[in-house]
């Protein structure tokens, strides 16, 4: 009878930060990797070592030991020191599709430069696996998957299976059922070996469907077991029933593939927390950091990279290295603990600082490239600005900009002489600040100098902005029309072409869909309740007191109107408990103030919301609810490169305690930017710019509940209602910053449509536009100076308006447009937003483009349509 072959895999799982900071981790990393190099070089029997599949660890090490690069290259090339394909061990459910893709792009690229990128999707500790990951892996030449969390034994009785992505892509998968640390503590005394083997190896044998057992030897930040070859020899001497070999994951899969047959197929997301905690409500932990992450990710892929592509097409250099630095800051924060927010406050300060750096670098990159374009435009007026559209089709709508304006009345015009409707939201005088910084490199040039200067926030309504291009405008001081300001009153009703909205007596909104005349009452209910959880899990208190905005006091209602937007501003003052103790005693005497703005823009089928909470209470959660009146069994939300349908209630909730799940299988779910409910006649959608977490609630599961934020007191707590037993984090680590005391802002939008069918492409397109604002750059000589860094006059080689691409006829959604890493071409990435039908690709892309994999180099099949959930990357010559 064939012996069980135990593949002993020496490794480390190296969290770059957690309850400790990256500074501490890096100091110990240098010591650790130095020892690994020494051991691998001196001991040929220590054949392999896995450095957690993240190349950032190698980069971090070489900052301090650059002299060891050749040593590392030799070991990586020999496939003994294993790194890649990741840059960092990223989250897959709350991080954006482009972040996951670039993580693998930079990770595999650097690993290959070192000599070899491990061709395994190794994910030892991420809190769930995204449903489109098999397709993403395959695009990097990876067809093997090794992981821990996400599959329960009610679906999988063995460790080996075929994981099928949502698009149908399949890959061989091996689960590490008891965690990456299962073999981290191996006894060395002879008397302890066989009892250990029967327990630890026996459990793996019972789960394996072949005679190949994956046995990881390592754990968090642990030193390598330098005598592991000797231990393995001793195990072989004492245990005659098994063969033990020191192995690499790649060699393990080579042997596994020879033995597997008729494996079960598991499709889509892996998010079951029966045996390993997934911390499903981690999507709203540290909402301030989540919001920073989401805003920067959207900005990079939806705004910055497309506008950099415009700039590049006009002859400016594409800033690859600067972008790589920004993305890598984001990857450092994308690691599962970092983006989860399940860290010490000190570590989260580091996370916050990296977001600050990434945000500033990204915005300044955008600024200089809009300037490089604008300074070569032959403006014919004194007060000019240019709007940059990052979407590859013409668009119309309201744009919010900030301009330095004079005291005189003006109209805004395009260079065809058309007057652009606008309204000034607010303005502040900055005359001395601005004019004292003006510098004239050429004093002989006569320039316009206003007598007074105001910084104004302006709304303007534009039509047919050039797709993936720019359009120029100017302030006309000679026109007799007055600058438009906002009308203000105490009216409690706003409307546009699509909606009529009134503030009701119970502090909710009554929304009338003008298209169908259907009225929706009790909309926008804020729900505040306790949170007895920790940094990993939301968990309701065993004794809770729930407060609703319908029971609050409303103050300071203001109505603002212009020809481009109407909005209501009002303040809700709720009475809530101060802490969990007062909540348990049913005491609610603390003010919880929500300043809310509801806006309707000209010709826009969205209801926009801005909520600012003055949070002065502890350990609680704030959500907002919209009753769609659509009874549902499933919700639809966007995920990585596509749309996913999920049940609104998991039946496992009935049995999870009896079956002793690690955590409750709650239906709190992640999204990228939208969640919808629909039936044959109606569609309701919530779009978010902030926290990507929702739940479908209500007796008929007809209400979309969006989490705005949650707060808690400790990194880890024991015996939670939704997570019994041990703590997930360190119980002694208090996290006062996680109480988010102070102002917490949230932005989101709502749309309801009647007499229509569900159209994922329309929703995905709306979400893309919502998260891809038009950028702007003001060009006036009086602004030239210290405030913006002085510039010289340049040759006017650009046109007043410009269009790079117009892709208006396809229903596939563009994920991003960027310059290729290794060529002078542009990359256009598109995906199918539908769950059950084909989507089209622009004919020009099909004819002229070169289809490539996500690595931007390997040739891919030429496609005219995309299957549901499928994406494609296309390289185009300018």
Domains and CATH numbers, the chain: 4-276 (3.20.110.10), 813-876 (2.60.40.2220)
How much is the average pLDDT of 186-202? 96
pLDDT for the residue numbered 1: 66
- Which residue is it, tokens 């180099």? 857
Q: Which helix (H) or strand (E) holds 548?
A: strand 547-548
Distance separating alpha carbons of residues 286 and 345, to the nearest angstrom: 10
Contacts of residue 368, Cβ cutoff 8 Å, sequence gap at least 6: none
Strands 850-852 and 212-217: unpaired
Cis preceding-peptide flag for 85 (omega within 30 of 0): yes
- Binning pLDDT at 50, 70 and 90, where does residue 551 land? very high
Distance separating alpha carbons of residues 674 and 65, to the nearest angstrom: 45
By residue count, the chain amounts to 878
3-state secondary structure of 72: helix
The alpha carbons of the chain give a radius of gyration, in whole angstroms, of: 29
Closest CA to 461 of 600, 633, 615: 600
How much is the average pLDDT of 257-267? 96
- The answer to whether residue 176 scores a pLDDT higher than 80 is yes
pLDDT for the residue numbered 70: 98
pLDDT in tens, 338-390: 999 999 999 999 999 999 999 999 999 999 999 999 999 999 999 999 999 99
Distance separating alpha carbons of residues 157 and 624, to the nearest angstrom: 40
As a whole number of Å, the end-to-end CA separation of the chain is: 64
Q: Is the dihedral of CA 486, 487, 492, 494 positive or negative?
A: negative
pTM of the model: 0.97
pLDDT for the residue numbered 483: 58
Strands 144-147 and 121-123: parallel
How much is the average pLDDT of 444-465? 94
DSSP secondary structure code for residue 549 in this structure: G
Three-state SS across 404-462?
EECCCCCEEEECCCCEECEEEEEEEECHHHHHCCECCCCCCCCCCCCCCCEEEEEEEEE
- The answer to whether residue 261 scores a pLDDT higher than 70 is yes
Strands 634-639 and 642-647: antiparallel
DSSP code string of 756-806: ----HHHHHHHHHHHTSPPEEEEE-GGG-BTTT---------S-SEEES--
Distance separating alpha carbons of residues 870 and 872, to the nearest angstrom: 7
How much is the average pLDDT of 113-130? 97
């Amino acid at each position: 009878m064939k012996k069980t072959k135990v593949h002993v895999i020496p490794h480390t799982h190296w969290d770059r930060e957690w309850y400790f900071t990256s500074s501490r981790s890096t100091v110990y990393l240098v010591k650790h990797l130095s020892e690994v190099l020494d051991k691998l070089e001196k001991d040929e029997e220590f054949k392999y070592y896995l450095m957690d599949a993240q190349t950032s660890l190698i980069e971090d090490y070489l900052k301090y030991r650059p002299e060891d690069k050749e040593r590392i290259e030799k070991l990586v090339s020999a496939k003994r020191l294993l790194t890649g394909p990741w840059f960092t061990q990223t989250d897959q459910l709350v991080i954006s599709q482009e972040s996951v893709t670039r993580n693998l792009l930079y990770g595999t690229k650097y690993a290959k430069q070192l000599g070899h990128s491990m061709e395994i999707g190794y994910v030892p500790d991420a809190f769930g696996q995204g449903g489109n990951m098999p397709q993403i892996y395959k695009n990097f030449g990876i067809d093997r998957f090794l992981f821990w969390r996400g599959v329960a034994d009610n679906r999988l009785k063995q460790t080996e299976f075929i994981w099928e992505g949502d698009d149908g892509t399949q890959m061989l998968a091996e689960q590490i059922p008891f965690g990456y640390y299962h073999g981290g503590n191996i006894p060395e005394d002879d008397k302890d070996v066989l009892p250990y083997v029967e327990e630890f190896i026996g459990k793996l044998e019972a789960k394996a469907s072949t005679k190949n057992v994956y046995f990881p030897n390592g754990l968090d930040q642990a030193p390598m077991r330098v005598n592991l070859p000797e231990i393995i020899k001793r195990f072989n001497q004492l245990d005659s029933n098994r063969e033990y070999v020191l192995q690499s994951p790649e060699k393990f899969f080579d042997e596994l593939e020879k033995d597997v047959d008729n494996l079960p197929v598991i499709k889509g997301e892996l998010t079951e927390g029966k045996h390993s905690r997934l911390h499903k409500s981690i999507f709203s932990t540290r909402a301030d950091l989540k919001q920073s992450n989401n805003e920067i990710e959207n900005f990079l892929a939806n705004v910055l990279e497309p506008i950099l592509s415009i700039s590049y097409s006009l002859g400016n250099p594409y800033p690859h290295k600067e972008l790589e630095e920004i993305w890598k800051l984001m990857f450092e924060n994308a690691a599962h603990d970092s983006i989860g927010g399940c860290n010490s406050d000190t570590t989260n300060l580091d996370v916050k600082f990296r977001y600050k750096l990434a945000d500033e670098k990204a915005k300044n990159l955008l600024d200089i490239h809009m300037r490089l374009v604008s300074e070569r435009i032959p403006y014919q007026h004194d007060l000019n600005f240019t709007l940059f559209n990052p979407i590859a089709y013409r668009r119309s709508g309201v744009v919010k900009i900030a301009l330095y304006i004079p005291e005189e009345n003006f109209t805004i015009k395009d260079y065809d002489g058309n007057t652009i409707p606008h309204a000034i939201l607010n303005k502040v005088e900055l005359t001395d600040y601005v004019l004292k910084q003006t510098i004239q490199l050429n004093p002989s040039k006569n320039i316009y100098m206003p007598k007074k200067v105001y910084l104004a926030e302006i709304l303007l309504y534009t039509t047919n902005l050039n797709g993936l291009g720019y359009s120029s405008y100017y302030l006309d001081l000679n026109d007799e029309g007055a600058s438009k300001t906002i009308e203000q009153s105490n009216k409690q009703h706003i409307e546009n072409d699509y909606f009529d909205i009134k503030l009701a007596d119970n502090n909710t909104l009554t929304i009338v869909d003008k298209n169908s005349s259907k009225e929706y009452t009790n909309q926008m209910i804020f729900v505040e309740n306790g949170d007895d959880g920790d940094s990993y899990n939301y968990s309701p208190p065993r004794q809770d007191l729930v407060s609703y905005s319908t029971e609050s006091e409303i103050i300071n209602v203001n109505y603002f109107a212009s020809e481009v937007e109407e909005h209501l501003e009002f303040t809700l003052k709720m009475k809530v408990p101060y802490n969990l103790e007062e909540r348990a005693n049913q005491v609610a005497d603390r003010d919880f103030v929500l300043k809310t703005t509801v806006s309707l823009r000209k010709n826009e089928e969205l209801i926009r919301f801005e909520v600012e909470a003055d949070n002065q209470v502890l350990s609680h959660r704030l959500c907002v609810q919209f009753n769609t009146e659509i009874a549902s069994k499933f919700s639809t939300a966007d995920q990585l490169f596509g749309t996913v349908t999920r049940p609104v209630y998991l039946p496992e909730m009935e049995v999870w305690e009896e079956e002793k799940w690690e955590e409750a299988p709650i239906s709190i779910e992640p999204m990228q930017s939208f969640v919808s409910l629909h039936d044959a006649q109606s569609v309701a959608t919530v779009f978010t710019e902030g926290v990507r977490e929702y739940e479908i609630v209500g007796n008929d599961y007809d209400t979309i509940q969006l989490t705005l934020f949650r707060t808690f007191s400790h990194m880890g707590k024991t015996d939670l209602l939704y997570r019994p037993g041990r703590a997930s984090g360190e119980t002694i680590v208090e996290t006062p910053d996680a109480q988010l005391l102070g102002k917490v802002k949230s932005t989101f939008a709502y749309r309801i449509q009647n007499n229509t069918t569900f159209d994922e492409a329309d929703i995905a397109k709306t979400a893309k536009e919502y998260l891809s604002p038009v950028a702007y750059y003001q060009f006036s000589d009086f602004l030239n100076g210290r405030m913006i860094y002085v510039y010289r006059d340049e040759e006017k080689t650009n046109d007043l308006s410009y269009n790079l691409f117009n892709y208006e006829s396809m229903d596939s959604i563009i994920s991003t447009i960027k310059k290729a890493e290794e060529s002078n071409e542009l990359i256009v990435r598109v995906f199918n937003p539908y769950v059950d039908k084909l989507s089209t690709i622009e004919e020009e892309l099909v004819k002229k483009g070169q289809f490539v994999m996500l690595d931007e180099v390997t040739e891919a099949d030429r496609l005219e349509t995309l299957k549901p959930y499928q994406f494609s990357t296309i390289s185009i010559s300018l």
